[in-house]
């Protein structure tokens, strides 16, 4: 009974928060046998910031050229943290699908999320959107895409197709992706994936999260531009301050929970995933601080928030430095836990500043 209730609640969340649409019939007319967009730059990094980097590439297609930290802010992608029994600890906060929905109007775009259970319809529709001049973002499981051992939630940007598969730009060029980090001009051929492997990667991602559909993709179209940042301050503030519900923790409580777990079961957390979370926290919080100083120079409350992100970055870096020698119950485990709690305090303070901004709006 409890499992059925949980599944029903999860499905409700996806159907109500993602605003899924049936596939657009206007895209099912006659299509060219192959097509490639020559208007999308291939931007890739070694950091696991696939979601905002994908948006950065798609926005450039529409003439919006900004650094990744700008898109991180609008999406809330690098604001907050999460801890869940199924997915472990991450230093990313906002669900990227809802983050894309929040971000799109500030770019003068409309985000559209399409879903289907029929593979043939999905493939034809994605080709249709590409043929009509729109890059296509697909949520995928990196393991299914690259025959990797561990499931990794991810996304790719499709920029072309032929009769048997798709050309795509990989936003994270680190193992297992067969590419190197770079910023390449529009027109690059990109990587290639056959239809069946792409379908398997999309379906595996849907299964991983328990979506009530097998396949999905996202496109953006021009729309009205929004300027009131109230929804962004609220989204990012709530992600940072955080909370807990039904075994899931987010924001500062997620970081504090991880500190407590480290003290309790240290060796289990001395893993590549834990180190990656610390690495990402150290790098992205510094980017967040830089963005606030660039975009809101002279605004005292946001400069205080930038200082909080500086502190969080230093705390994550200090924890990362000590991880190789961690053993539960040792002084170093306690030091790492202390650094994590410092990061949580700094992020909670930044979140409180953001929420005050949202209230003022």
Report whether pLDDT(209) > 60. Answer: yes
- Taking each helix axis from N to C end, the angle separating 96-103 and 50-61, rounded to the nearest 10 degrees, works out to 30
How far is the C-alpha of 182 from the C-alpha of 4, rounded, in Å?
45
pLDDT at residue 223 tops 60: yes
Q: Looking at residues 152-176, what average pLDDT do you find? A: 96
- Rounded Cα–Cα distance for residues 243 and 254 (Å): 8
Task: Give the mean pLDDT of 261-268.
Answer: 72
> pLDDT band for position 264 (50/70/90)?
confident
pLDDT digits (tens, 9 = 90+) for 271-324: 668 889 999 999 999 999 999 999 999 999 999 999 999 999 999 999 998 887
The per-residue pLDDT for 263 is 84
- Half-sphere exposure (CA, 13 Å, Cβ side) for 97? 24
Output the six-digit token pair for 156: 């790719």
Q: How much is the mean pLDDT over the chain?
A: 92
Q: How many CA atoms lie within 13 A of 355 on its CB side?
A: 12
Please indicate whether residue 236 or residue 87 has the higher confidence score (pLDDT): 236
* Average confidence (pLDDT) over 8-33: 81
Residue showing tokens 């995928």:
140
pLDDT-derived band at 326, boundaries 50, 70, 90: low
Confidence category of residue 361, pLDDT binned at 50, 70, 90 = confident
327, pLDDT greater than 60:
no
pLDDT over 90, % of the chain: 79
Is pTM beyond 0.85? Reply is yes
Output the pLDDT for position 148. Answer: 87
Q: Supply the pLDDT for residue 192.
A: 98
Question: Which H helix or E strand runs over 137?
Answer: strand 136-141
pLDDT the model gives residue 262: 84
- Count CB atoms within 10 A of the CB of residue 303: 15
Q: Which residue has the higher pLDDT, 119 or 151?
A: 119
Residue 25's pLDDT is 54
pLDDT at residue 202, as a whole number: 98
Residue 261: predicted pLDDT: 87
Which are the contacts of 92, defined by CB distance < 8 A and separation ≥ 6?
A: 77, 78, 80, 81, 82, 280
Quick one: pLDDT band at residue 151, thresholds 50, 70, 90? confident
Confidence band, pLDDT 50/70/90 cuts, at residue 9? confident
Query: What are the Cα distances from residue 348, in Å, to 4, 15, 27, 237, 300?
Result: 34, 30, 45, 8, 17
Collapsing DSSP to helix, strand or coil, 148 comes out as coil
Question: Which tokens belong to 110?
Answer: 């409309």
With a cut of 70, say whether residue 47 has pLDDT above it.
yes
High-pLDDT (> 70) share of the chain, %: 92
pLDDT over 80 at 330, yes or no: no
Torsion of CA 302, 304, 307, 308, to 10 degrees: -90
Tokens 């990012």 map to which residue? 236
pLDDT one-digit tens code per residue, 57-85 = 999 999 999 999 999 999 999 999 998 77
């Amino acid at each position: 009974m409890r499992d059925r209730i949980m599944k029903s609640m999860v499905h409700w969340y996806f159907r109500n928060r993602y605003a899924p649409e049936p596939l657009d019939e206007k895209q099912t007319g006659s299509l060219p046998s192959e097509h490639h967009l020559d208007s999308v730059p291939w931007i890739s990094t070694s950091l696991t910031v696939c979601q905002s980097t994908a948006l950065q590439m798609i926005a450039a297609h529409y003439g919006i050229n900004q650094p990744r930290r700008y898109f991180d802010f609008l999406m809330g992608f690098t604001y907050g943290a999460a801890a869940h029994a199924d997915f472990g600890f991450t230093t990313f906060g906002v669900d990227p699908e809802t983050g894309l929905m929040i971000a799109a109007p500030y770019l003068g775009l409309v985000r559209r999320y399409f879903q289907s259970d029929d593979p043939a319809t999905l493939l034809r529709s994605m080709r249709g959107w590409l043929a009509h001049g729109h890059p296509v973002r697909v949520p995928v499981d990196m393991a299914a895409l690259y025959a990797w051992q561990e499931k990794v939630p991810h996304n790719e940007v499709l920029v072309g197709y032929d009769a048997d598969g798709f050309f795509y730009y990989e936003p994270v060029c680190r193992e297992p992706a067969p590419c190197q980090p770079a910023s390449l001009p529009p027109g690059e051929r990109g990587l290639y994936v056959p239809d069946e492997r792409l379908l398997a990667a999309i379906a595996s991602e849907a299964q991983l999260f328990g979506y009530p559909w097998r396949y999905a993709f996202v496109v953006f179209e021009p729309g009205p531009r929004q300027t009131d940042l109230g929804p962004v301050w609220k989204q990012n503030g709530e992600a940072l301050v955080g909370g807990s519900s039904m075994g899931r923790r987010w924001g500062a409580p997620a970081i504090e929970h991880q500190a407590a777990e480290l003290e309790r079961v240290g060796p289990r957390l001395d893993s590549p995933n834990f180190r990656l979370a610390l690495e990402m926290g150290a790098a992205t919080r510094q980017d967040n601080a830089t963005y606030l100083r660039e975009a809101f120079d002279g605004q005292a409350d946001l400069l205080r928030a930038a200082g909080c992100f500086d502190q969080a970055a230093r705390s994550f870096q200090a924890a990362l430095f000590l991880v190789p020698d961690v053993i539960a119950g040792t002084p170093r485990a306690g030091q790492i836990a202390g650094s994590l709690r410092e990061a949580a305090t700094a992020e909670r303070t930044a979140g409180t500043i953001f929420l005050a901004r949202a209230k003022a709006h």
